[in-house]
Structure 1
Amino acid sequence: MKIVIPAVSLEKGGGARFLYQVANALIDRGQNVEFVMPQQGIVEWPVRAKITRVKELSPKAFPSCDFILPNFYSTVFPAWQSKKGKVVRLSLVYEPLCVANPELSKATYSIDAPIVTISQWQRQLILSEVGRDSSVISGGVDSAFFHPSPKLSARTGQKTIFYILRGPGYSWKGNSDFLEACKYLKERFPNFTLLVVNPEEQTFETTFPYTIMKAKSDQEMALLYARADLFVYASYYESFGLPPLEAMACGTAVITTDCGGNRDYTRNGENCIVIQPSDVMALTEAMYHLLTNDNERQRFADAGQTFAKSWTWQRTADQLISVLKQL
């Protein structure tokens, strides 16, 4: 099959990661994949698919193909109007929740095109909002990078927490809840180290120290997951949420909020601890419990690693190929 994927940009971030990983996995499955991007679009991921640069993502910019997979609201109507291939609306996020034009973005779900989304939670959200059902494909983990490594605490004697700390524009990531929980944790368990990746490179006022780490590649990110004793995810909502699954694959115990899309792979009490969003005291208690209970923390780490092994990008590609063949 010839599959065309319009992309505004392929910068570092969850949506672009999903696209490049799926595209590479589709190529490994023998599919012909081409990205169509504006000339100014940034590419930061190691994409192996063909990239065609165009002046703008207008209908005439699309080549003939079997399927076009618009994945952001601004690319849907140009893809639909091109008539160059069967349009399948790939929903990586339900845009009306997070863009400045909620009505325009919602309208893109009403065209007569099949919808593919990335979690059962988002499938139900789209169904309730626009009355249209969708097929579900899942995210994955690249085991070439995301696998266990020795823990820093074995050398330092201090337990390590790893967190992805986003800037003020990402309030739904739960940063303030996490930082407040760390303040309470420090009063009960002072002997921990906090490592954070801060993509926006902004500083945050805290009453406790933390170290900002750089992660310019999957390999560097995987080492941060793997060397930590605990990974925490505090989001209010996510369409899927790759980081907890990646941390599991790296053999690190996970505490995560029930943020929607991660329900497909989180099993509270089995492969992670799941708390409600914004419950600072529950988050504090969960971190304290796992940092002071080595056997319990290791049980979650082992269960998570075992569970994550089958969640590969090749599996994602196979799911997508199956959906497209049915169409």
Structure 2
Amino acid sequence: MRINFVIFGMNLTGGTRVVAEIINHLAERGHQMSVVTFGSPKDLRWIDLKAKVYYANRSLTQKIFGYLYRQAFGFQPWPEEETRQLIEFMPDCDINVATISYSGYAVNRSGKGVPFHYNMHYEPLVREEGYKKKIIEESYFLPTKKIVNSSWLAKQIKERVGRDVTGLVFPAIDHGIFYPRKEKPSTRRGRKIRIVSLAKYKWWKGLPDALKAIQIVRDRGYDIDFQTFGRIFDRNALPEEVRDIEFTFVGSRVNEQLAEFYSEADMLISASYFESFPLPPLEAMACGTPVVTTVYGTEDYAFDRKNALVVEPQKPEQMAEAIIELIGSESLYNQLREEGIKTAKSFTWEKAADRMEEIFKKAIEKNA
């Protein structure tokens, strides 16, 4: 099959990693893969992408015209300008896949291939009110076939859009990178406890709640070394009430560095208000690091008191209690460690490619 993906940017994020891994595994099966994106080849330094990449960047003349248009009329014709640009560079294909709400318009209007949208979040939930949010919401009503990455997202689309999804394709992790590297100390009582978390300051990621939970645990007498990771983080963007809570931001961690980071921690916490199959908790599980996470979007792999401790979002006291329980119970800690490793092993890129390939083949057969 000739399979094209439309991706606004290829810098490393959780979403681009998922799409890139699926592309590579489909390419290994002999499919002709292509990508239409904005940006430049340097954005792909983090992966050897097995696809022909079309860069739909505007020329200098187009950029000047766009600037003059904004000056004259006070707004940019967005996303129409980007949509036309993506369609212009889009190759002929059998399957055409949008990967973010904006790219859905280009896939739908291009007339090339069977139109799909691989949804990785219900994006209107994480946008402020306004013009852009309306454009995002409308994209979910386009006649593209919806593939989702989590059961939570399938439910959101059913309830909010009134549509059943075409298929469910879970993301995965690279088990050659994320695996148990060392045994955890036999006891956590009476010593410094290292807790880690992703630091991505978007309001729905819940980092302020994670910081509040850490402070509650410290106030109970526990010595906590809280370390966060991510690409870019501005401490001044935090609400003033949590800005002085002590933590260390270690910067970006990728692949082996990230796996080592997880392995050296006693636990990972995730305080997001809602996610759609977030990778950090699953990556930590694979490394043998127990997880405390919020519930929405992790239901496909995080099961309370079996392989993780699952709490309600926006309740730092509840998260703090879970952390304290995990510190104090060796049997629970070892259970979550062992069951987390087992759970993570079941999510492979081969399975993700199998499912995606199956969905695409059925769509082509139906359209024949």
TM-score (norm 2): 0.82
Trace 1:230-241 onto structure 2 (pairs within 5 A): 230-241=267-278
1: CA distance, partners of 2:159 / 2:329: 42
Trace 1:35-74 onto structure 2 (pairs within 5 A): 35-40=35-40, 42-50=43-51, 51-55=53-57, 57-74=85-102
Q: What SS does the aligned partner of 2:107 have? A: helix
1: CA distance, partners of 2:332 / 2:86: 54
Partner of 1:290: 326
Q: What SS does the aligned partner of 2:307 have? A: coil
Question: Could you tell me whether the CA contact under 8 Å between 2:293 and 2:310 is conserved in 1?
Answer: yes
Match of 1:242 among 252, 263, 279: 279
Which is further off, 134-143 or 32-41?
A: 32-41
Give CA deviations for 1:187-243 in whole Å, capped at 9, x if unaligned: 224323222114323236555532222334211111111211111010000122111
Structure 2 spans left out of the alignment, 5+ residues: 59-84, 364-368
Which is further off, 115-124 or 88-97?
A: 88-97
Question: Could you tell me whether the CA contact under 8 Å between 1:183 and 1:207 is conserved in 2?
Answer: no
Give CA deviations for 1:95-154 in whole Å, capped at 9, x if unaligned: 222345222222222232211111111111111111111111101111111111226868
What's the CA shift for 1:28? 2.6
2: CA distance, partners of 1:298 / 1:310: 19
Q: What SS does the aligned partner of 1:194 have? A: strand
Partner of 1:131: 162
2: CA distance, partners of 1:206 / 1:61: 45
Question: Could you tell me whether the CA contact under 8 Å between 1:17 and 1:45 is conserved in 2?
Answer: no
Question: Could you tell me whether the CA contact under 8 Å between 1:161 and 1:231 is conserved in 2?
Answer: yes
Matching residue's letter, 1:63:
P
Q: What SS does the aligned partner of 1:35 have? A: strand
Q: What SS does the aligned partner of 1:231 have? A: strand
Which is further off, 103-112 or 292-301?
A: 103-112
2: CA distance, partners of 1:270 / 1:104: 40
Structure 1 residue runs of 4 or more that deviate by more than 4 Å after TM superposition: 151-157, 204-208
Question: Could you tell me whether the CA contact under 8 Å between 1:151 and 1:227 is conserved in 2?
Answer: no
Q: Aligned pairs, how many?
A: 324
How has the CA–CA distance of structure 1 residues 47 and 105 changed in structure 2, closer, same or farther, with 3 Å as cutoff?
farther
Partner of 1:164: 198
Which is further off, 210-219 or 268-277?
A: 210-219
TM-score (norm 1): 0.92
1: CA distance, partners of 2:91 / 2:245: 54
Which is further off, 59-68 or 144-153?
A: 144-153
What is the aligned-residue RMSD (CA, Å)? 2.2
Question: Could you tell me whether the CA contact under 8 Å between 1:152 and 1:160 is conserved in 2?
Answer: no
Partner of 2:139: 108
Matching residue's letter, 1:55:
N
> Identity of paired residues, percent?
26
Question: Could you tell me whether the CA contact under 8 Å between 2:194 and 2:267 is conserved in 1?
Answer: yes
Matching residue's letter, 2:200:
R
